[in-house]
């Protein structure tokens, strides 16, 4: 690729030996958690620095010489870049591209295959080619529109079927086996084959992605909206080729993440760091909403196929399950997403013989990545719908059929681990049945279907679980989380941990754990947004691990601090993660305890389907959840209500399609997310089931509420129409096609 035109203008360059020159005063940003205390308004990254209005009262100084950055992105799904033509640049305007990456031009993640900036070939529409950096965003936008890229188109793949036909498309592939599935199929009286599909999903967090990078005395500091500060730091160390002590990462107030700010922020952080290094001035890159939707990772679309062996009494002998996930253009976090999807493939059921094959295929769609549930929602939609179908085939009521096959305490997981806690699915299902009137409504709606001109009604139920903590040996071997508690001279205690609050409540929950353990009021416990110069690496804020894993470390450190309280006016206590002794895991063979504990749930959803428009309306949602013990019931209520609404949105409203790799729904007008008017408030109950190694018995709660809502909705719509629903989202158009196909 040739770059033509003036690559940069004005000052700001690297000094000999790779050191950077700092322009202006290089004034650092203040603490990232600043807010206008009178109004309760928080400062997001786009608000910094606050030059006017109520937010200016926080005292945040402006950054001297702050520059803005805009991104030139690929307009082709797969192409070789032959030439980039850049118009003349005004003073103090720079181009930053792959040649300005001092270290390795790869974003450090599980497979490290995605570049910070495209080099010769672009692999998806929206891939970053370069940054345009300067003092005036309007002028930058004018220049950006004038840049011309000459491409040589290459042959793209967009669907799983197109990717499947290509020998080089497999990004990752795994297999696992339980029992002897081959023998089960030899004994089978019947074999049932079904296929289920799910679509992509946009995170739609409140605050778009953004970062500020600046040079400070031979170091790089980035401030940004993120979930995993130490993931970002590792990526910067690799991209800069610097020692870790020269890199600082600070989380600013973060307006939502849902997994979307786990992996993608590392790319943006690298880009602003390279720009700050080249220009010698602070650089801010904030995506607008449309760009955020068009460029960032999405939930993996899936295709899941079952072959189930049944005996003469329609009992399950074994299953063969094939999971295909669309990884998009790069691997990202797909290997770990696939693992959790595979470990969820048989749901909450004791399937004696099972074989699961999983693959992530590369396409020329947007890269897919972390999203609440992390591969489990796709798997649970498929297995719950399949079990519903098997029940109807056997002439049995679906809930009764599912409960008859549920796992129990002491039985083996699909990976040969052990369910060590009591499994309360029967009691939870009874509670949901009581709240929803499930069995009565099931009979009534079956009898009424097809009669009269009113809406078709249905009710469905799902049983589900979610493994708490990072998959396999990740907590012990990869993360090795660490937390520090510091007693201050004034008698207050500060929690030093890398856990990021993005609205899900760890700043409240972890403080409550510490305060309760220490035996004093919440106002005496401090916990600010993490700064890698100040806090140890307690691990990423993902995988329903914050309360259970990090909270346990906080509790242990607080106990030790309390025991030594009177020995000195200032004290510091640290605790590192120790895996429970019962956990055994072989990562190569996928054998043992994939998770130390499981959270459990039951959902029921009631719907009406308009016989003219085929529009499904949710009329009731009920749930029961075993999350161990709730640290803060209001936080848990928010997680349940938000998670269920987000899942129902994915299952019904949120259509995200692409044509030739280009999204058709690229704003929040075309991409429909639920409002408070779309679904009724969920009625739910919590079941106490304390986990020995969680703080005050807590397990994970953030992802569990998402997992069960979609299959319950699908079962309800299936009953209303009298036809199986095997694809998400369940739109009126999809239901019309289903009715026409079955007619």
Q: How confident is the model at residue 739 (pLDDT cuts 50, 70, 90)?
A: confident
CA distance 156 to 264: 23
The answer on pLDDT for 524 being more than 90 is yes
Per-residue model confidence as pLDDT tens digits over 28-81 = 444 444 455 556 677 899 887 654 444 344 333 458 899 999 999 999 999 999
Q: Is the pLDDT of residue 151 over 70?
A: yes
- Residues of the chain with pLDDT > 70, as a percent, come to 92
Pick from 93, 209, 77: nearest CA to 154: 77
What's the pLDDT at 41? 73
pLDDT-based confidence at residue 317 (cuts at 50, 70, 90): very high
Instruction: Tell me the mean pLDDT in the region 662-680.
Output: 96
Contacts of 177 (CB under 8 A, 6+ apart): 354, 355, 356
pLDDT tens, residue by residue, 280-315: 999 999 999 999 999 999 999 999 999 999 999 999
Q: Is the pLDDT of residue 552 over 90?
A: yes
Q: What is the mean pLDDT of residues 409-434?
A: 98
pLDDT at position 172 over 50:
yes
Q: What is the mean pLDDT of residues 79-96?
A: 97
| Average pLDDT for 328-348 | 98
Give the residue-averaged pLDDT of 262-286: 97
Query: Mean pLDDT throughout 88-107?
Result: 98
pLDDT at 319 over 90: yes
Give yes or no for a contact between 347 and 387, defined as CB atoms under 8 angstroms apart: yes
Average pLDDT over residues 357-382: 98
What value does the mean pLDDT take over residues 402-418?
A: 98
Q: Domains, the chain, ranges and CATH?
A: 2-154+204-295 (3.30.365.10), 302-471+591-742 (3.30.365.10), 474-576 (3.30.365.10)
Q: What is the mean pLDDT of the chain?
A: 93
Q: Name the token pair of 707.
A: 């997992």
**Binning pLDDT at 50, 70 and 90, where does residue 16 land?**
very low
**Short-list 327, 323, 318, 319, CA closest to 305:** 323
Provide the pLDDT for residue 60. Answer: 39
DSSP-assigned letter for residue 339: H
Q: Which two tokens stand for residue 476?
A: 């012990």
Assess whether pLDDT exceeds 50 at residue 376.
yes
For the chain, give the percent of residues with pLDDT over 90.
88
Q: Is the pLDDT of residue 350 over 90?
A: yes
Residue 25: its pLDDT value, please? 34
* Cα four-point dihedral sign 729, 735, 740, 743: positive
- φ, ψ (nearest 5 deg) of residue 622: -135, 150
Q: Which of 171-185, 258-272, 438-452, 627-641 has the lowest average pLDDT?
A: 438-452
Q: Is the pLDDT of residue 20 over 50?
A: no
In this predicted structure, what is the pLDDT of residue 492?
98
DSSP 181-210: HHHHHHH-SEEEEEEEEE-------SS--E
pLDDT tens by residue, 585-629:
999 999 999 999 999 999 999 999 999 999 999 999 999 999 999
In this prediction, residue 32 carries a pLDDT of 44
């Amino acid at each position: 690729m040739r770059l033509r035109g003036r690559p940069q203008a004005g000052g700001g360059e690297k000094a000999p030996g790779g050191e950077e020159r700092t322009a202006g005063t290089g004034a650092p940003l203040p603490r990232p958690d600043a807010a206008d205390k009178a109004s309760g308004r928080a400062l997001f990254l786009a608000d910094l620095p606050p030059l006017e209005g109520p937010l200016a009262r926080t005292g945040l100084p402006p950054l001297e010489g702050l520059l803005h950055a805009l991104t030139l992105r690929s307009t082709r799904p797969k192409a070789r870049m032959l030439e980039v033509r850049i118009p003349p640049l005004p003073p103090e305007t720079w181009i930053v591209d792959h040649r300005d990456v001092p270290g390795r031009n790869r974003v450090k993640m599980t497979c490290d295959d995605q570049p910070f900036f495209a080099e010769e070939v672009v692999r998806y529409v929206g891939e970053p080619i370069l940054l345009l950096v300067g003092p005036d965003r309007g002028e930058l936008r004018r220049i950006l529109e004038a840049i011309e890229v000459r491409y040589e188109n290459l042959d793209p793949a967009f669907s799983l079927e197109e990717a499947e036909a290509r020998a080089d498309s497999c990004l990752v592939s795994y297999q696992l086996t339980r029992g002897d599935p081959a023998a089960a199929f030899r004994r089978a009286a019947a074999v049932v084959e079904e296929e289920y599909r799910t679509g992509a999903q946009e995170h739609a967090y409140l605050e778009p992605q953004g970062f500020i990078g600046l040079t400070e005395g031979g170091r790089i500091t980035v401030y940004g909206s993120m979930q995993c500060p130490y993931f970002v730091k590792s990526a910067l160390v690799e991209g800069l080729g610097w020692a870790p002590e020269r890199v600082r990462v600070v989380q600013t107030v973060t307006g939502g993440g849902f997994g979307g700010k786990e992996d993608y922020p590392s790319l943006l952080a690298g880009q602003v760091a390279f720009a700050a290094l080249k220009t010698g001035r602070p650089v801010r890159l904030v995506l607008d909403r449309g760009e955020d939707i068009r460029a960032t990772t999405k939930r993996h679309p899936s295709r899941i196929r079952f072959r189930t062996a049944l005996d003469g009494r329609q009992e399950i002998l074994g299953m063969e399950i094939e999971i295909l996930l669309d990884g998009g253009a790069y691997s990202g976090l797909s290997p770990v997403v696939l693992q959790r999807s595979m470990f969820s493939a048989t749901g909450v059921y004791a399937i004696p013989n099972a074989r699961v094959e999983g693959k992530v295929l590369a396409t020329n769609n947007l890269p897919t990545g972390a999203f609440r549930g992390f591969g489990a929602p796709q798997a649970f939609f498929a297995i719950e719908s399949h079990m519903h179908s098997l029940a109807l085939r056997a002439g049995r009521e679906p809930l009764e059929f599912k409960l008859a096959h549920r796992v129990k305490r002491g039985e083996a997981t699909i990976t040969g681990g052990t369910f060590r806690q009591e499994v309360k699915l029967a009691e939870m299902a009874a509670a949901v049945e009581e709240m929803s009137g499930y069995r009565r409504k099931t009979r009534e709606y079956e009898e009424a279907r097809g009669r009269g001109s009113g809406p078709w009604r249905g009710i469905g139920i799902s049983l589900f679980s979610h493994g708490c903590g990072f998959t396999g040996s990740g907590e012990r071997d990869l993360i090795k989380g660490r937390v520090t508690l510091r007693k201050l001279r004034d008698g207050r205690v500060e929690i030093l941990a890398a856990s990021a609050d993005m609205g899900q409540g760890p700043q409240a929950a972890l403080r409550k754990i510490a305060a309760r353990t220490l035996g004093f009021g919440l106002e005496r416990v401090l916990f600010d947004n993490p700064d890698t110069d100040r806090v140890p690496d307690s691990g990423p804020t993902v995988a329903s691990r914050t309360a259970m894993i990090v909270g346990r470390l906080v509790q242990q450190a607080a106990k030790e601090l309390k025991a030594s309280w009177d020995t000195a006016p200032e004290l510091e206590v640290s605790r590192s993660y120790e895996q429970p002794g019962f956990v055994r895991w072989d990562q190569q063979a996928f054998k043992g305890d994939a998770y130390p504990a499981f959270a459990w749930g039951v959902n029921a959803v009631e719907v009406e389907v308009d016989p003219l428009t085929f529009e499904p309306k949710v009329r009731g949602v009920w749930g029961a959840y075993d999350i161990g013990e709730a640290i803060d019931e209001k936080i848990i209520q928010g997680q349940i209500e938000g998670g269920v609404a987000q899942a129902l949105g994915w299952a019904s409203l949120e259509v995200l399609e692409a044509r030739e790799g280009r999204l058709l729904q690229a704003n929040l007008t075309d991409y429909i997310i639920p409002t408070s008017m779309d679904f009724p408030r969920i009625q739910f109950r919590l079941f106490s089931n304390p986990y020995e190694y969680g703080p005050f018995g807590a397990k994970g709660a953030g992802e569990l509420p998402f997992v069960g809502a979609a299959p319950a909705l699908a079962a309800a719509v299936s009953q209303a129409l009298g036809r199986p629903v095997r694809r998400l989202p369940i739109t009126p158009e999809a239901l019309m096609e289903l009715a026409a196909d079955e007619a």
